[in-house]
Homo-oligomer: A and B are copies of this chain.
């Protein structure tokens, strides 16, 4: 334990924490930087939006900016930190709460979930970027803050509020994942549920006796599926459950 290293729960992620949260001031000597974190991050996001996270390499980002890849390392300690920046930038400023002031927490939370789903739809690579140990950035934390604010008047305890946000955001990701599973590369399918059904049906050809419940469910869902149904059904069930609990307590 030598030196003045700040003791922290973020082991080898100190770089990300500093980059995401710390405003590092420009040094006074030396040439002015020709690039900026902002430009680099935006460029990387652009690549990921069109070609998925796999299309983001230091080489490609640098080439897009007409620089050498090594020049990027003057701004970012490594690729992991760049991805962390991409995440927080792509999440963007959390939206203004809708209906929270009116005490309509259910509407506010539904609205929050929809806006979050829109973010995932716009940046499908976010799903894969979010897995694994990471540091939350200010925007990501801001999203959580907004959802918690909506739940403030429900009578739920602090822990329950956190848990509720986790369930809702879990549903958002689950739906986004289904969409992403059906698409190719960075572009999700337009009608995730229909595509999912089609893929399932294809797998089930000649195997219906092995998966009877699945076959029955798919047969029953035959034509009437809207692409929005899974989203709405799940979200409303979750909100129902939360409302019942809040009303009961």
Residues of chain A having any CB pair with chain B under 8 Å = 8-11, 17, 21, 52, 127-128, 130-136, 141-142, 144-146, 148-149, 151-152, 157-164, 166-167, 169-171, 173-175, 177-178, 180-185, 195, 198-200, 202-203, 211-214, 216-222, 224-225, 229-230, 233-234, 236-242, 244-245
Contact = CB atoms under 8 A, between A and B. Distances in A.
B203 A167 contact: no
Contacts of A167: 171, 174, 233-234, 237-238
A233 B203 contact: no
Contact of A162 (B132, B141, B217): B217
A169 B170 CA distance: 9
A134 B181 contact: yes
Contact of A230 (B166, B178, B200): B166
Nearest to A240: B241
14 contacts: A8-B202, A9-B195, A52-B132, A141-B200, A145-B214, A152-B216, A157-B221, A158-B216, A159-B217, A163-B230, A167-B174, A173-B177, A238-B241, A244-B244
State the main secondary structure of chain A at its contact with B.
Answer: helix
A128 B180 CA distance: 13
